[in-house]
Chains A and B, each alone.
Chain A
Amino acid sequence: MSILVNGETRLLVQGITGREGEFHSTAMLEYGTSIVAGVTPGKGGRSALDGRVPVFDTVAEAVEQTGANATCIFVPAAFAPDAMLEAAEADVPLVICITEGVPALDMLRVYHVLRAKGVRLIGPNCPGLTSVDEAKVGIIPGNIHLRGSVGLVSRSGTLTYEVVQAMTDAGVGQSTCVGIGGDPIVGTSFTDVLDMFNQDPETEAIVMIGEIGGDEEEKAAAFCAREVRKPMAAFIAGRTAPPGRRMGHAGAIISGGEGTAESKRSALEAAGIRVADSPSHIPRLLRDAGVA
């Protein structure tokens, strides 16, 4: 088992004929993800990925013809809010937006519209997610995973790969790995994903990778203290980040003395969660917490 995506996922890719969309869709297909449709306005009726995937003009049409139940968005930032709204309008229950650089006020509106419709949004500015050996949606390299029972949730991209690789090298397998995105406004929070992992019978332990900015790690720590009894380990990036500066990710900023790595680390430790000094220590912390 796993969360969010699995063998039943019928994926639609918005922006499938773009350079990024085509490249990563090919990797998803190779991983075994079932891509049932692509959408590129104006290219409906053609096919993509060497004839393997039909392309439609609109999301509504793609859903009607193929029964797609999730979408992965690769369109440029200027068009991504509209792409997310189009997916919601067509009642796609799960939207994963990879695009970086979506303006925050656009995201605010999209967030509330999708929430009101009950659509689950992952991202934007995220690497996507992988349910190991079942389905990969987004840009996480497929070859770093090992099937297992540890769920992972992270705000980052390559840092997630770093931790997954360290776990795989140490023989600690993963159930699902979710990148929730590095923007200030994202569709799904740490707490949302922790709740899903907590309820997933196949996920026996959880790793959380946070970074400076905002208070979602602190909220997640409070949730874990209340609800989660599964073993956990964490890492927080940005101990050396200067205040008031955006560290690459739009959401990674210490402002007004809030959102520091120390604050997040102490909140997690107060909730009984061990926080690693280096990503390479995560497998050991998991073993110490009783993960086989």
Chain B
Amino acid sequence: MKLQEYRSKEILARHGVAIGPGITATSPEEARAAAERIGGPVVVKAQVLVGGRGKAGGVKLAGTPDEAQERAREIIGLDIKGVTVKTVLVAPAADIAKEYYLALILDRATRTVTVIASAEGGVEIEETAKTDSGAILRMPLHPLIGLQEHQVRRVAFFLGIPAELRKDFGTLMRGLSDAFFATDADLAEINPLVVTKEDALLALDAKIVLDDSALPRHPDLEAMRDLNEEEPSEIAAREAGISFIKLDGSIGCMVNGAGLAMTTMDLVKLAGGEPANFLDIGGGAKADRVAAAFKIILDDRNVKAILINIFGGITRGDEVARGIVEARSLLTRDVPMVVRIVGTNAEEAKPILAEANLITADSLDDAAAKAVEASRAGAAA
């Protein structure tokens, strides 16, 4: 789960990272009041999780409170890559002398938490990696003892932090590390980290991405979830305990298991169709879960057919078939459905599905082809 800039900064500040003052606003009037309280020129920044907000006109300077109100009026309500801006962060416009990049990531390749640092701040690290990988320091932390003082010094020297700011840098970097581990993060990034013309070290922008698996033990962080930036269908799916991602195609997919769900999408594409979603219904495929999945899939008006692919395994195929028929009978909108059930009692499932007018298929390739065909017939009708 990604956290908004102002949330990320809030967390970093709690761990001793200097972030400077900042006030959030949800209306132009609030933005004006915030600028008055801060005093002097400010920057008004859209709080969205999608990248490229600056280019989209979501970050603007304002010399006076009046201007801040005007800029906020332009930004609030702005559409940035499909997300409507609801909140802005008003912060002092920093006089920047130098920009750096500093982050901690969970690095799966080395199975460590790794520090990434670069003296090329303010640009995406992926860009720096492409153009000048020598400008990037990657330094793994010891998995059991974490960040050491000699490592803090190494990063400071690598970045060329001015001698008089090294103590402050140590505080900041230890704070970043503490925040990373305290929140069970996947990524804690400060970009840019700046030295101002007044010789202060400041985290000007920050991003924290949390490990979804660890969220159950952080209810305070779960409460920071920004529902404004999530698909309503994805919110409903999460509440039903279903793993779901909305896509743009016309063939709804209902599958048990994440790998098989991805494969089903791939085969829909291979058969000439476009998947409308990723959906892993989990183990058991019980009737109530199937019913919730149907509703989530069919709420998407683009969906013209549904492909259900269940590898029975330990679950009995005939039970799954009955669950599908039962759940379908409760639907208000209906589309052609292709059902493929494999594994235990798959044979017993067939008459149940046939009686309910569901299209059946033996192989996954066949099921994908039939779903694509059915979606075209459905779209034409």
Q: Which residues of A contact B (CB under 8 A)?
A: 23-24, 27, 77-78, 101-106, 108-109, 111-113, 139-141, 143-144, 154-162, 165, 182-185, 209, 211-212, 214-215, 235, 237-242, 245-252, 256-257, 261, 277-280
When the two chains form the complex, which single residue of A104, A182, A237, A247 contacts B106, counting CB atoms closer than 8 Å? A104
Contacts of A27 in B (CB 8 A): 314
* Interface footprint category on B: 35 or more
Whether the Cβ atoms of B106 and A257 lie closer than 8 Å is no
Could you count the A-B residue pairs with CB atoms below 8 Å apart for me: how many are there?
162
Q: Is B243 an interface residue (CB 8 A)?
A: yes
Whether the Cβ atoms of A108 and B245 lie closer than 8 Å is no
Whether the Cβ atoms of B344 and A143 lie closer than 8 Å is yes
Cα A250 to Cα B257 in complex, Å, equals: 13
- Given A103-B211, A104-B184: A237 and B314 within 8 A (CB)? no
B294-329 interface code vs A (CB 8 A; 1 in, 0 out): 000000000000000001011000000000000000
Cα A159 to Cα B267 in complex, Å, equals: 13
Contacts of B65 in A (CB 8 A): none
Cα A158 to Cα B216 in complex, Å, equals: 26
- Given A141-B343, A245-B245, A277-B270: A157 and B108 within 8 A (CB)? no
Q: Is B259 an interface residue (CB 8 A)?
A: yes
Contacts of A141 in B (CB 8 A): 313-314, 343-344
Q: Which of B261, B268, B280, B363 has the most CB of A within 10 A?
A: B261
* Chain B, range 105-163, C-beta contacts under 8 Å to A: 106, 108-109, 111-113, 125-126, 143-144
Whether the Cβ atoms of A185 and B259 lie closer than 8 Å is no
Whether the Cβ atoms of A105 and B211 lie closer than 8 Å is yes
Q: Which residues of B contact A (CB under 8 A)?
A: 106, 108-109, 111-113, 125-126, 143-144, 181, 184, 186, 211-214, 216-217, 243, 245, 247, 255-263, 265-270, 275, 278, 280, 311, 313-314, 342-344, 363-365
Q: Closest CB-CB distance, B216 to chain A, in whole Å?
A: 7
Q: Closest CB-CB distance, A222 to chain B, in whole Å?
A: 13
| Cβ contacts A to B, 17 pairs, < 8 Å | A23-B314, A103-B184, A106-B214, A108-B111, A109-B144, A157-B260, A158-B311, A159-B259, A162-B342, A183-B213, A238-B262, A240-B266, A248-B258, A250-B211, A261-B266, A279-B364, A280-B363
Whether the Cβ atoms of B259 and A103 lie closer than 8 Å is no
- Given A162-B342, A185-B108, A247-B245: A278 and B311 within 8 A (CB)? no
Whether the Cβ atoms of A237 and B266 lie closer than 8 Å is yes
Residue of chain B at shortest CB distance from A184 = B108
A interface: dominant SS: loop
Whether the Cβ atoms of B257 and A158 lie closer than 8 Å is yes
Cα A157 to Cα B243 in complex, Å, equals: 15
- Given A154-B259, A184-B106, A252-B262: A104 and B211 within 8 A (CB)? yes
Contacts of B111 in A (CB 8 A): 108, 111-112, 185
Q: Closest CB-CB distance, A71 to chain B, in whole Å?
A: 21
Whether the Cβ atoms of B245 and A250 lie closer than 8 Å is no
Contacts of A102 in B (CB 8 A): 213
Whether the Cβ atoms of B213 and A103 lie closer than 8 Å is yes
- Given A141-B343, A237-B266, A278-B267: A105 and B259 within 8 A (CB)? no
- Given A112-B143, A158-B260: A103 and B217 within 8 A (CB)? yes
Residue of chain B at shortest CB distance from A235 = B263
- Given A27-B314, A162-B311: A239 and B269 within 8 A (CB)? yes
Whether the Cβ atoms of B344 and A159 lie closer than 8 Å is no
Contacts of A235 in B (CB 8 A): 263
When the two chains form the complex, which single residue of B109, B212, B217 contacts A250, counting CB atoms closer than 8 Å? B212
Whether the Cβ atoms of A212 and B313 lie closer than 8 Å is no
Residue of chain A at shortest CB distance from B129 = A256
When the two chains form the complex, which single residue of A24, A104, A157, A215 contacts B259, counting CB atoms closer than 8 Å? A157
Residue of chain B at shortest CB distance from A251 = B108
Contacts of B311 in A (CB 8 A): 158, 161-162, 165
Residue of chain B at shortest CB distance from A158 = B257
Contacts of B267 in A (CB 8 A): 278
When the two chains form the complex, which single residue of A144, A212, A256 contacts B262, counting CB atoms closer than 8 Å? A212
Whether the Cβ atoms of A112 and B314 lie closer than 8 Å is no
Whether the Cβ atoms of A247 and B262 lie closer than 8 Å is yes
Q: Closest CB-CB distance, A172 to chain B, in whole Å?
A: 16
